[in-house]
Chains A and B, each alone.
Chain A
Amino acid sequence: MADKSLPQLLASYRERKHLLALLKEIQEVYGYLPGEFIPEIARSLGLPVAEVYGVGTFYSFLSARLQGRNVIRVCKSAPCWLKNCELIVETLKRELGIGPGETTRDGRFSLQLTNCIGACDQAPAMMINDTTYVDLTPEKIPEILGGYK
C-alpha cells in the first residue's frame, strides 16, 4: 500500500507551509502518521519536533493511530441527531462488530463519530473516506459497506 517512501514524500514538500499537506499525504498513503516519521519531517522542514507533532494531532482528518483502509465518519450533530443518527451508529456497530473509535480486525473499516459535515438537508448522513452518503436508513448500510474492500 505504501507506494511512496518517506524520503520521496519529503522531497516533494520542501517548505514550511507544506507541512499540513505533507501530513495529509502521509495519512493517505500509510493510513496514519507513524510516530517515527515525526522527527524526520521536523528535520527536513527545519521545525521543532513539537510543532510537527502538534499539527499532526490537531486535525480530525489526521490520526496518530493506524486507521482502517476505509474511515467511516457518522455525523452526530443536531440535524442528524434529530433524524435518528443513533440508529445508523447502532447498525454500523452491529454490522462491523466495533464501536466508535475502533478499527475492525481485518483493517477494513474504522468507525468514528464526527461533527456537522454539511449534509443536514439530507440527514442522517455519513462519510466514508471522501464520499458522503445521505438520507441513510439501517437498510442501506450493508450495501454501502459492501462497496468497500
Chain B
Amino acid sequence: MPEKRIVLKNCGVIDPRDINTYLGQDGFKALAKARTELTPEQVIAEIKGSGLRGRGGAGFPAGLKWELARNAPGTEKYVICNADEGEVGTFKDRYILGRDPFSLIEAMAIAGYAIGSQTGYIYLRAEYYYLLNLLQNAIAQAQEGGFLKGLVIEICEGAGFYVCGEETALMDSIEGRRGEVRFRPPFPPTQGLWGKPTIINNVETLINIPQIILNGAEWFNHIGTERSKGTKVFSISGDVERPGVYELVMGSPLRELVEELALARDVKLVQVGGAAGRVLPYQEIDTPLAFETVLGAGAVIVFNESRDVIDIVFRTMEFFAEECCGKCTPCRLGTEAMIEILAKFVQGSGSKEDLTVLEDTARMMQLTSLCGLGQTAPNAVVDTLQYFPDLYQARISKSEVP
C-alpha cells in the first residue's frame, strides 16, 4: 500500500508562520463549512461516520468522544489538544506542529463548535518549548483573521513528565497539580478539566478533522482497514538508514515502513508503539500496521542483529519505573520489581523462579494498574518471553540448570 498524505498534506507545502499560505491550501474552509452548512450534531455525525480513532495510542473513536461531551450537561466545556508526545521513539507531533500549526487550530475550532466549548488548551510538552512561539503566532493570526470567533485557545506548557500524556494526568497538570492519573469513571467527556465535560485529542487525530469535514465521512471511510480508517503517521528510528516521519495507509505492512522506506537491514526485532508498544521479531515483519494488530502512537524503533534483547527489555522497564507517577501500587512497585529481576538476567544470574515471577507480575500489572502506563509497561517483557524464550533460558544461572 502506498504512502498517502492526509495528515502531512500541508507539511513542507505551507509556511507555518504565514496564514495566507494555509488559506491558499483550502485552509479554514472546513471550519466555514461546519459553521455555515452543518449543525454541531451533523459535524459529530461526520466524524463518527468517518471511523476516525484516536492517534495517541488508545484508539478511542473520536466522534463518540465528541458526542459524549456534546451531550453532557453544562455550558462550560473544554477542548484539549494533547501535544505531550513523550512515548519513546515518537516525534511525529513535533514534525506536524512545526510545519502545519494552522490545521490544528482549525480542527480545535471545529471541535469547539461541535461540542459547544469556548475554551481550548494545547498542552505542549516542555521539551518542545521551541515550538511555543510558532504556535502562539499561528493562534494570533487565526484570531486576527476572524477564525476563532467564540473560542479562546491557550497553550499550557508541561514541565517534563511522560505520564502527563495520559489524559487524566494531563488534566491534573493543566490544573496546576502533580500529573497523577485519576480513577475512571468518571470519564473526561462527562467530567474532565475542573470537573467539566472535556475532550482530549492527540495532535494527529485533530489534524484529520478538517479533511474529513471537507471531503466527507465516506471518503475517509474508504481508506484503511475495517476497523482502522485513514492513514497513520509513523516515527521510525533506531537501526535504520533513513529515520523520519512517514504517513501510510492503515493496514500497510510493517515491512514496507521498516525495509522499503527506512531502509533497515539485518533486523532482529521491532518495537511498535514505543516503550509501551509490542515487540515483534523479524519473522513478524509482514504484520499489517493497524488498531487490529499493532499500532500505538506510531513509534517504530528498529533493532538490528547486533543488539541484546534482554538489555533492550531492561532499559524499557527502567524507563517506566522512572516515569511512573506513583499513584497506584501495581505500577509503582511492579516496575521496580521487574527491574530487579531483569537486572539478574542482564548479568546472567536469573533463575527459573524469576521467570515465573516476571510472568505473574506482568499479568498483575496489566490487570490492575490504574492507567495505560502500568498496563502496557510489561509488554516488552511479555512479548520477548514469548518470542525469545531461549534468550532468557540462556541467562539462567548455571548453578540452577540441572
A interface list, Cβ under 8 A from B: 16-21, 23-24, 51, 54-55, 58-62, 77-79, 81-82, 114-123, 127, 130-132
Instruction: Report the nearest B residue to A18, measured CB to CB.
Output: B176
Q: A77-B89, A82-B303, A115-B162 are in contact. Are A121 and B322 (CB under 8 A)?
A: no
Contacts of B125 in A (CB 8 A): 118
Which among B126, B173, B301 is the interface contact of A79 at CB below 8 angstroms? Answer: B301
Contacts of A19 in B (CB 8 A): 176-177
Give Cα distance in the complex from A33 to B142, angstroms. Answer: 37
Instruction: Report the nearest B residue to A127, measured CB to CB.
Output: B127
Contacts of A127 in B (CB 8 A): 127
The reply on B235 being an interface residue by CB < 8 A is yes
Is A20 touching B159 in the complex (CB atoms < 8 A)? Answer: yes
Q: A78-B316, A82-B303 are in contact. Are A116 and B88 (CB under 8 A)?
A: yes
Contacts of A120 in B (CB 8 A): 88-91, 235, 237-238, 243, 299, 301
Extra 14 A-B pairs, beta carbons < 8 Å, given A17-B175, A77-B88: A19-B176, A19-B177, A58-B178, A59-B158, A78-B275, A79-B89, A82-B307, A116-B87, A118-B86, A118-B128, A119-B91, A120-B299, A121-B91, A131-B130
The reply on B85 being an interface residue by CB < 8 A is yes
Kindly list the 3 A-B residue pairs having the minimum CB-CB distance in the complex, ordered from nearest.
A59-B159, A60-B160, A120-B237
Q: Could you name 9 residue pairs across A and B whose Cβ atoms are closer than 8 Å?
A: A17-B175, A24-B157, A59-B161, A59-B179, A78-B315, A116-B86, A118-B127, A120-B235, A127-B127
B interface list, Cβ under 8 A from A: 85-91, 93-94, 125-130, 157-162, 173-179, 235-239, 243-245, 271, 274-275, 299, 301, 303, 307, 312, 315-316, 319, 322-323
Contacts of A61 in B (CB 8 A): 126, 159-160
Contacts of A114 in B (CB 8 A): 160
Q: A60-B160, A118-B125 are in contact. Are A78 and B85 (CB under 8 A)?
A: no
CB distance from B270 to the nearest CB of A (A): 12
Give Cα distance in the complex from A145 to B215, angstroms. Answer: 50
Q: A60-B159, A121-B235 are in contact. Are A115 and B176 (CB under 8 A)?
A: no
Contacts of A116 in B (CB 8 A): 86-90, 162, 274
CB distance from B119 to the nearest CB of A (A): 12
Give Cα distance in the complex from A17 to B121, angstroms. Answer: 13
Is B130 touching A132 in the complex (CB atoms < 8 A)? Answer: yes
CB distance from A21 to the nearest CB of B (A): 7
Give Cα distance in the complex from A18 to B271, angstroms. Answer: 38
Instruction: Report the nearest A residue to B242, measured CB to CB.
Output: A121
Give Cα distance in the complex from A127 to B139, angstroms. Answer: 26
Most chain-A Cβ atoms within 10 A of its Cβ — which of B87, B237, B238? B237
CB distance from B207 to the nearest CB of A (A): 17
Q: A18-B176, A61-B159, A115-B86 are in contact. Are A130 and B130 (CB under 8 A)?
A: yes
CB distance from B196 to the nearest CB of A (A): 13
Is B176 touching A123 in the complex (CB atoms < 8 A)? Answer: no
Give Cα distance in the complex from A82 to B88, angstroms. Answer: 12
Contacts of B85 in A (CB 8 A): 118
Contacts of A117 in B (CB 8 A): 127
Contacts of A79 in B (CB 8 A): 88-89, 237-238, 243, 301
Give Cα distance in the complex from A101 to B159, angstroms. Answer: 18
Instruction: Report the nearest A residue to B271, measured CB to CB.
Output: A78
CB distance from A118 to the nearest CB of B (A): 4
Most chain-A Cβ atoms within 10 A of its Cβ — which of B87, B91, B161, B162? B91
Contacts of B129 in A (CB 8 A): 130
Give Cα distance in the complex from A21 to B178, angstroms. Answer: 12
Which among A59, A119, A123 is the interface contact of B160 at CB below 8 angstroms? Answer: A59
Is A78 touching B312 in the complex (CB atoms < 8 A)? Answer: yes
Contacts of B126 in A (CB 8 A): 59, 61
Give Cα distance in the complex from A20 to B156, angstroms. Answer: 10
Give Cα distance in the complex from A25 to B126, angstroms. Answer: 13
Instruction: Report the nearest A residue to B179, measured CB to CB.
Output: A58
CB distance from B78 to the nearest CB of A (A): 13
Q: A19-B176, A58-B178 are in contact. Are A24 and B316 (CB under 8 A)?
A: no
